[in-house]
Amino acid sequence: MALNTWAPKSGYTAQRIDVTLAGTWAGETATISIGGIAIASEAGSVAATIATALISEFNASTHPYATGITASSGGSGVVTLTADVAGAPFVITLNAPGGSATLGQATIQANLSPTDGSVALNWSLGATPVVTNDVRIPYGVPKLIWGLEAFPTEVLGVLEVEDGAGPIGLPEETFQVTDTTVDSTVVEYRPTFWKIKYASARIGVADSLSSTPPAGISRCKIDAQTTAMHTYCYRSAVQTGARPPIEIKCVNTSSKLSNYGADVEISDGSTIDSVYNYTPGARTRVGKTVVVENVEALVGKAILYSLPTVELVRGGDVIIRADGTIPLVRGPGGTNFKLEGGVAITAIE
């Protein structure tokens, strides 16, 4: 397969969206929302008048989702929304006003940024990855935090994320205002996981060209979706906050995770066949409502908020914080085997 490498070359261009009021308005309401928050909402019988009122109300908003966007007139009955900082994308939703009135949006200028995965210029092949590509995210290039759902249907070959690369994805607990600024008063409303399907992934692999070892991956959030995959994790930064540096989502009963020394989480709601810890430095967290058949933690540390439906192989540190039944537990037991939930074990070998 052809190798398509994350190699950003794009400049910065501000996103611009036109919101158009059309049809016949007879008291209907037009609402512009961001992240489920109604930023501007006006009713009336003249499209141009409603648009003017929406512009004033939008620009008067003090909500963090809206303060980085300026509303202006794009013509009669048209509200133009433009990002104040080039390279910082936004997403709006509109209500259905009803009657013969219509409210629509059109992207006049897409967001351009060297941190946006949807921009073709940011990839070495001059196009976003496709099914015939292997993908590599190298150490020492800009982060990938925007355009995270640009190619969710393409099933790639091998995904390789070098040690120290990223960050990839966005935190959920804060709001990313620009590439470099964060607002901690509100949560993120845009996608936070990079949606990318692959057969195999290697995350945290060594960069042989680095003169000094990188500090480890600080954030790598990947949603492999429904494709059967095997993800191998080798190295990451040590978890310091509420979330591990590497977070994997997947929904396939044949998918597997092999951890060789990173801090990794199988995210809440995932479905996976097996999770393996292979080194003492491997630290794996199985999130809530995860359907997992087998967990093998002969070494390293495993924290389980969901129980394996087939077997648990213990030996390293295992902490279980879930209720339910484990059909089979095997292994020597390890130095730290804690049952902090209401757990029943059917058989021990």
The DSSP output letter for 60 is H
Q: What pLDDT is attached to residue 341?
A: 83
Per-residue pLDDT reduced to its tens digit, 259-293: 999 999 999 999 999 999 999 999 999 999 999 99
Count of Cβ atoms closer than 10 Å to residue 154 Cβ: 18
Count of Cβ atoms closer than 10 Å to residue 283 Cβ: 26
Q: What pLDDT is attached to residue 207?
A: 65
Contact 252, 230 (CB under 8 A): no
Closest to 47 measured CA to CA, from 71, 75, 25, 72 = 25
> Burial code of 245-265, b = ≥16 C-beta within 10 A, e = fewer?
bbbbbbebeebbbbbbbbbbb
Give me 188's structure tokens. 């993120």
Amino acid identity, position 3: L
pLDDT band at 334; cut points 50, 70, 90: low
Count of Cβ atoms closer than 10 Å to residue 110 Cβ: 14
Give me 81's structure tokens. 């929304």
Amino acid identity, position 284: T
Q: What pLDDT is attached to residue 140?
A: 85
d(CA 66, CA 70): 8
Closest to 231 measured CA to CA, from 208, 197, 268, 202 = 202
d(CA 148, CA 115): 10
Amino acid identity, position 227: T
Per-residue pLDDT reduced to its tens digit, 285-332: 999 999 999 999 989 999 999 999 999 998 889 999 999 999 999 987
Mean pLDDT of the chain: 93
